[in-house]
């Protein structure tokens, strides 16, 4: 029997992972059109890492300002090489700070190597 797992050793691997959680609100809980910020996030991650995938999710958390907050979020993720991650993780943080500012958020969640950070 052929061990198909051995074939993986000959394939190109992207071993690093980044996600940016783009909210659908401004000022914590006011629903807004954030499509411009979403498109910008997809474009930037694609530029830095070679591609991106976006999908919707329902997020919830306890806000200091408004109790339990639930909202639609779009998660934009990219797999990349370690070199790409090292070169652009600062750009991802800067972009998250920009999103936080323009959307008047308490924080923006980013995930790097499967660890969640609140910017």
In the DSSP assignment, the letter for residue 34 is -
Strand residue runs (E) in the chain: 16-23, 25-26, 30-31, 53-63, 67-80, 109-112, 115-118
State the pLDDT at residue 58: 95
Residue 1 has pLDDT above 70, yes or no: no
State the pLDDT at residue 34: 93
Average pLDDT, integer, range 60-65 = 78
CATH architecture of the domain formed by 15-118: 2-Layer Sandwich (3.30)
State the pLDDT at residue 17: 97
> Residues 28-44: pLDDT tens digits?
778 999 999 999 999 99
In the DSSP assignment, the letter for residue 52 is -
Q: Higher model confidence: residue 27 or residue 16?
A: 16
Q: 85-100: string of b/e by CB count within 10 Å (b at 16+)?
A: beebbeebeebbebbb
Q: Determine the Cα angle at 98 with ends 25 and 18, to 5°.
A: 85
Helices (H) and strands (E) counted in the chain, each on its own, are 2, 7
State the pLDDT at residue 61: 82
CA separation for the pair 18, 33 (Å, rounded) = 24
> Residues 92-118: pLDDT tens digits?
999 999 999 999 998 999 999 999 999
Integer angstrom CA distances of residue 65 from 2, 15, 61, 62, 68: 59, 38, 11, 9, 9
């Amino acid at each position: 029997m052929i061990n198909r797992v051995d074939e993986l050793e000959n394939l190109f691997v992207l071993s690093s992972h980044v996600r940016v959680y783009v909210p659908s609100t401004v000022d914590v809980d006011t629903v807004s059109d954030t499509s411009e910020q979403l498109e910008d996030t997809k474009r930037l991650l694609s530029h830095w890492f070679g591609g991106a995938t976006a999908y919707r999710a329902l997020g919830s958390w306890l806000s200091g300002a408004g109790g339990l907050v639930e909202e639609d979020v779009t998660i934009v993720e990219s797999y990349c090489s370690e070199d790409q991650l090292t070169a652009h993780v600062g750009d991802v943080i800067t972009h998250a700070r920009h999103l936080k500012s323009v959307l008047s958020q308490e924080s923006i969640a980013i995930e790097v190597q499967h660890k969640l950070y609140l910017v």
